[in-house]
Structure 1
Amino acid sequence: MGVQENRAALSARPGGPPGPAPAGPGTHRLGVETRRDSVLCVPSSAGAGQPMPLLVALHGAGGLPDGSMPMLQAVADQYAVAVLVPQSRESTWDGIRHGYGPDVDVVDRSLHRALEAVRVDPARLGVVGFSDGASYALGLGLANGDLFSHVIAFSPGFVPFAARVGEPRVFVAHGVADRVLPIDRTARRVVPALRRDGYDVTSVEFDGGHTVPLDIALRAGQWLGWSTPPGG
């Protein structure tokens, strides 16, 4: 039997040659798609040639909420981390519905552009998502554990199947009163399964519904430990 193709595999990697026009601080459309284009938020503290962390942020079902870019830019500025925001081709991510395909391509091309635009620290590259985006973050993150060192899943439903590579650390947070994706059918099954498979998983349950409270988001940021460079 041949080696199974990893349809969720990404080819983008840090360390390649920079693009012709490095991105300065602020919000930049990447031009990878004419509809539902990807966006890169570069922190205000970005210095010329200085490596920075990067988070790939995956939206929930329905797409990117209106008015969310200023919030994401504020996250980039506060935590000195670049935030890449791709968008699914349909209302949610392909791996949630019918298997990996065009959305993997969009994420990959967006990452290539982002890695040309800013210098990224390969030890501090992660993927984060909420709801359907959290499920997709788990699927992509575990399939690309040689690229992503950290995976953050806020209120995931499940882990879309893909061949797995590497051993990224995983953070899962879920509200005990979630009526959209009830915790007993989702996180409380996902977390033990990941631990049985040998992953280092931090699990946080909180009093609340299908949302990401500020204190939970801050805990995830602290868990990343990216406030100072490795060895800094």
Structure 2
Amino acid sequence: MSTESLRIVWIYPDLLSTYGDRGNLLILARRAMQRGVPVEVAEVRSDHPLPHSADIYLIGGGEDGPQALGAQRLLADGGLHRAVARGSVVFGVCAGYQLLGTSFFAKGAKCAGLELLDLQSDRGPSRAVGELAGDIDPRLGVPQLSGFENHGGRTHLGPGVSPLARVTAGVGNDGTYEGAWRGKLLGTYAHGPALARNPALADLLLRWALGVNNLPPLNDTWAERLRSERKTAVAAGRP
């Protein structure tokens, strides 16, 4: 499709990388290359400056301490804010999703977020663990969300952001809504990894990054089998 490379950055894999979230990087790169789009991948550790000229930035899940440290370093670095200002795509999962907001809690303390999305996170009455599903905002044109969640947070959206999905199974943000998006920024509590279980969501991020409305279709037989199996399990009340 293009002779220009798609540049993907995985932010702080030494701090934020749980439940196979690196798979999101692999899925994006693979789906782009299958369509003839060259890909450049950078895994930027927390002791290195973050490039601000990439097309897609990925932030994974993590424990409280690494999440707080990651937020501090991203705020001091400023590279992600510059990237967003120039129109880059950002995809955050779990802890990575929370730190895109204005604040979150880690080890009982309130921490400053990146303020890239109008949301704030605190602690819920219980831990949310298990299958997560929801009907995605129809404006995004993506089928039902499928994923796995494991988090103690609850996320509250402000008027400047839209929920990614309305929950049909699991907890997500608050038992009613899951995730959030605005412009080319999108966050979710879904692991799995999320983009392996939701290939249409991966393609949405690619379309945003490439500036196109459509992409050539790919054979997603195995992904659809997995989605169907998990949907059946959720309906039957199995983990």
Q: Which category describes the TM-score, using the shorter chain as reference length?
A: 0.3 to 0.5
TM-score by length of 2: 0.39
TM-score by length of 1: 0.40
Question: Counting strand residues as a fraction of each chain, which structure ranks higher?
Answer: 2
